[in-house]
Amino acid sequence: MRPFTGWLSLVSACGAALLLSGATALPGAAQQTHVAGKTGNAARGKPLYTRYCAGCHGDEGDAQGENAQWIDPKPRDFTLGVFKCRSTPSGALPTDQDLFNTVTRGFVTTNMPPWVALTPQNRVDLVAYIKTFSPRWRTAQAGRPITIPPEPAPTIEGILRGRELFQNLECWKCHGPAGHGDGPSAKTLTDSKDDPIRPYNFQTGTRFMCGETNQDLYRIFMTGLDGSPMPSFADQLQANQAWDLVHFLRTLQPLHSPEAAMWRSWFSTHGRELKPIGPEGGGQ
């Protein structure tokens, strides 16, 4: 009898060890996420994911959910560990806060809705579970968020400098001379999975892919939208230049912004001095 109970306890110990390793194999460091004082747990996130996310993103996080074939742009493939909206440099993993913000905000130009109906705790748990799909989270840490210096007040000089940058950095090649998303390269753009993708059309006046504030806009072109054709300009722009570009881009949107008002009043008297943007253009 004795040897038998010994075996039994050994077997149960093995079982417990298996269970434990199963739990850690799930996500290791990614198992828990920390956003704004809340701790997310992947095990709690899993049923939420199955309920709300798997329909598009797939049970395995591979963007092969049953709805995926009807969706354009395609859902994010979490197994790649590549994310558009980050506060971290191109090539780096996003922070937990970045993923939380994305789940909360949704993508205005895609089928991804804002998940504000879920509690913040639910969303933090979902982030923890999303991080279990890619092996990148087990070998690499989130990048260090870029610093965004305080925004200077917009000036017409700054807007004009921003316009020159829009010309010289050739933003218009994709986004179009007037920001309508119709530049010469727009039609041939593909994302990293070779699916066609459209550049942002400023004329729609919708929110940007990753937020809506001037800071969000600054962050978009200083980090790039990884997995998409939008590159990072962090190596090419000084902070003051980036702010100039932000202020110019605001004038392309049909919105009541201080930049747009400033631009309209300047343009009404000086419009004819401007060179066009585009292949023949010199910007200012």
Partner 1 sequence: MIARFTSVVALVAMVSGPAPGHRAAGGTISGKVTYTGTPPKARPIDMSKEPSCVAQHATPVTTQDAVTGAGNSVDYVVVYISAGDEGAAAATDTVRYEQKGCQYIPHVAVMQVHQPLAVLNDDPTSHNIHPLAKVNAEWNKSQPKGAPPIHTAWDQPEFIAVKCNVHPWMHGYFVVLKTPHSSITDSTGAFKLEGLPAGKYTVTAWHERFGTQSQEVTIAGSETKTANFVLTARPY
Among 28, 227, 278, 281, interactor with partner 1 by CB under 8 A: 227
Pick from 90, 58, 57, 68: which is nearest to 227 by CA?
A: 90
Nearest to partner 1 of 154, 283 (CB atom)? 283
By CB under 8 A, is residue 64 in contact with partner 1? Answer: no
- Candidates 61, 154, 224, 283; binder of partner 1 (CB under 8 A) is 224
Q: Indicate if the alpha-carbon torsion angle 221, 223, 228, 233 is positive or negative.
A: positive
Q: What is the DSSP string of 88-135?
A: S-TTSBPPHHHHHHHHHH--TTSS----TTS-HHHHHHHHHHHTTS-T
| Binding of residue 281 to partner 1 (CB under 8 A) | no
Residue 113 binds partner 1 (CB under 8 A): no
Instruction: State which of residues 62, 151, 170, 182 lies at the interface with partner 1 (CB under 8 A).
Output: 170
Is 284 a residue that touches partner 1 (CB under 8 A)? no
173 binds partner 1 (CB under 8 A): yes
Do residues 190 and 230 touch, judged by C-beta distance below 8 A?
no
Gyration radius of the chain's alpha carbons: 23
What is the identity of the amino acid at 25? A
Residue closest to 249 by CA, chosen among 166, 183, 152: 166
CB of 168 to partner 1, least distance (A): 7
Asked if 141 touches partner 1 (CB under 8 A), the answer is no
Does position 196 interact with partner 1 (CB under 8 A)? The reply is: no
Residue 92 as a binder of partner 1 (CB under 8 A): the answer is yes
Burial category of 178 from C-beta neighbours within 10 Å (exposed 0-12, middle 13-18, buried 19 and up): middle
Rounded CA-CA distance 59/61 in Å is: 6
C-beta of 91 vs 276, nearer to partner 1: 91
Residue 190's φ and ψ, nearest 5 degrees, are -135, 155
Minimum CB separation from partner 1 for residue 75, in Å? 17
Pick the piece of the chain touching partner 1 (CB under 8 A) from 5-13, 90-98, 112-120, 255-263: 90-98
Structure tokens given for 243: 């702010």
231 binds partner 1 (CB under 8 A): yes
Nearest distance, CB of residue 190 and partner 1, angstroms: 8
Q: Which residues bind partner 1 (CB under 8 A)?
A: 80, 82, 90-93, 136, 140, 168-170, 173-174, 184-185, 188-190, 192, 224, 226-236, 279
